[in-house]
């Protein structure tokens, strides 16, 4: 910016090299004494670059993930043909830069919002606890079981659960994370405004907004403040909570059902953004509600997937090296019947690709321990 790199510094190879390996893990913002946010600087570098040169096709695909992911449901059979390392995967790597060695996510047969039934109108007096769930793009299309499990848990705990939706026929809401991650700031801001507009009635009533995917929910607490979205974003930041944060804050032991004992080892991998925003203590607390559950936390840094980073052909090998530093050895050493917990969609994908083990969101553990006659 001071002219040393010429009139177009954001396209200079030295800047590209400096930012190339940023994972947007937010570790710098947490650990730097001055709170320097390298992830946001990387976003700005990319945004400035796309002002002077076209955005590559791969980055456009990632940016517009919420638009095309629903349509892939009709192509599930075709997607099954693309397997890691086969000719189709190699062609996609050559054409679009998607790593041939990486599996690709497949939409579930039905999205969460396809089966969502709103609760009856709020009566007078209002329920003791009322929440609105953010059904993010990943939970809605890739892992709807997690969203359904969250609704079941919250209802069992006595909450009236609403879901942030738009009128029928309109595209589902998205926080804008996928667009922001590749520097498409305009699209991210447009998605954020759609979400904040839908959130306005709940904000006015002070209803907590709960999220399941850390990178999506924490957009409301962090990046929305940098997108110049005004007072609605400031209010959203105060009402947005990860599910585990809300549970740990809102419920005392006397409020809880008699969770069934689960004599089970649970191994937990924390999402980078959970760690950056101090949510791991809440996760430890709520898992501690289940009697006989033996919970241990993997001491690891980023899993290496980091959203789209691990899908990129030029970064796949490094992504796997990062996973092999601590995460994957710990997963392989776990007992075959141990449950693996990872709240991040990309973290679960990395564990599946690298260790051929299934990891699930923590909400499934609490649901497994609900009393047999718990409210559904």
Q: Tell me which residue range forms the domain holding 330.
A: 256-368
What pLDDT score does 374 carry?
58
User: Is position 226 within any domain?
Assistant: no
Whether residue 363 lies inside any domain: the answer is yes
60: tokens are: 């456009």
Residue 163: inside a domain: no
What length is written for the chain? 376
pLDDT at 3: 80
Residues of the chain with pLDDT under 50: none
- Total number of domains constituting the chain: 1
* Residue 125 pLDDT: 61
Give one DSSP letter per residue of 242-290, joined into a string.
Answer: EHHHHHHHH--GGGS--PPP--EEEEEE--HHHHHTT-HHHHHHHHTTS
Is residue 213 a part of any domain in this protein? no
- Which pLDDT tens digit goes with each residue over 284-314? 999 999 999 999 999 999 999 998 999 999 9
Residue 228 lies in a domain: no
- Do 166 and 200 form a contact (C-beta atoms < 8 A)? no
- The contacts of residue 243 (CB under 8 Å, 6+ apart) are 150, 210, 211, 212, 363
205/347 Cα distance (integer angstroms): 34
Per-residue model confidence (pLDDT) at position 153: 97
Within-domain flag for 141? no
Q: Decide: 197 and 229 in contact? Cβ < 8 Å.
A: no
Of the candidates 173, 187, 146, 175, the one whose C-alpha atom is nearest the C-alpha of residue 240 is: 175
Is residue 119 included in any domain, yes or no? no
pTM of the predicted structure, to 2 decimals = 0.93
Q: Domain holding 317: CATH number?
A: 3.40.50
Whether 267 is in a domain gets the answer: yes
């Amino acid at each position: 910016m001071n002219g040393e790199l010429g009139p177009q510094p954001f396209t200079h190879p030295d800047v590209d090299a400096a930012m190339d390996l940023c994972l947007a893990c937010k570790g710098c913002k947490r650990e730097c004494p001055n709170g320097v946010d390298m992830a946001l600087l990387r976003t700005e570098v990319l945004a400035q670059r796309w002002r002077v040169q076209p955005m590559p096709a791969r980055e456009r695909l990632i940016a517009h993930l919420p638009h095309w992911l629903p349509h892939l449901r009709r192509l599930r059979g075709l997607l099954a043909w693309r397997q890691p390392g086969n000719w189709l995967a190699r062609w996609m790597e050559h054409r679009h830069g998607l790593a041939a060695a990486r599996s690709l996510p497949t939409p579930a047969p039905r999205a969460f919002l396809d089966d969502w039934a709103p609760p009856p109108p709020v009566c007078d007096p209002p329920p003791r606890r009322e929440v609105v769930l953010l059904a993010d793009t990943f939970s809605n299309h890739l892992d709807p079981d997690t969203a359904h499990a969250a609704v079941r848990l919250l209802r069992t705990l006595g909450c009236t659960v609403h879901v942030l939706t738009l009128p029928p026929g309109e595209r589902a809401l998205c926080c804008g994370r996928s667009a922001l991650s590749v520097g498409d700031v305009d699209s991210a801001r447009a998605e954020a405004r759609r979400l904040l507009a839908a959130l306005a009635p709940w904000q006015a009533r002070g209803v907590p907004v709960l999220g399941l995917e850390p990178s999506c929910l924490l957009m409301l607490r962090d990046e929305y403040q940098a997108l110049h979205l005004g007072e609605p974003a400031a209010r959203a930041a105060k009402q947005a909570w990860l599910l585990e944060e809300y549970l740990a804050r809102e419920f005392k032991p006397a409020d809880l059902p008699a969770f069934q004992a689960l004599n089970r080892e649970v191994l937990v991998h924390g999402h980078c953004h959970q760690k950056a925003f101090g949510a791991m203590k809440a996760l430890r607390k709520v898992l501690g509600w289940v009697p006989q559950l033996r919970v241990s936390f993997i001491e690891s840094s980023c899993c290496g997937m980091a959203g789209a980073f691990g899908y990129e052909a030029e970064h796949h090998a490094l992504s796997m090296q990062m996973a092999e530093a601590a995460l994957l050895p710990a997963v392989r050493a776990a007992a075959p019947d141990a449950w693996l917990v990872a709240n991040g969609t990309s973290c679960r994908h990395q564990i599946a690709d690298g260790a051929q083990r299934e990891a699930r969101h923590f909400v499934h553990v609490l649901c497994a321990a609900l009393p047999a006659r718990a409210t559904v």
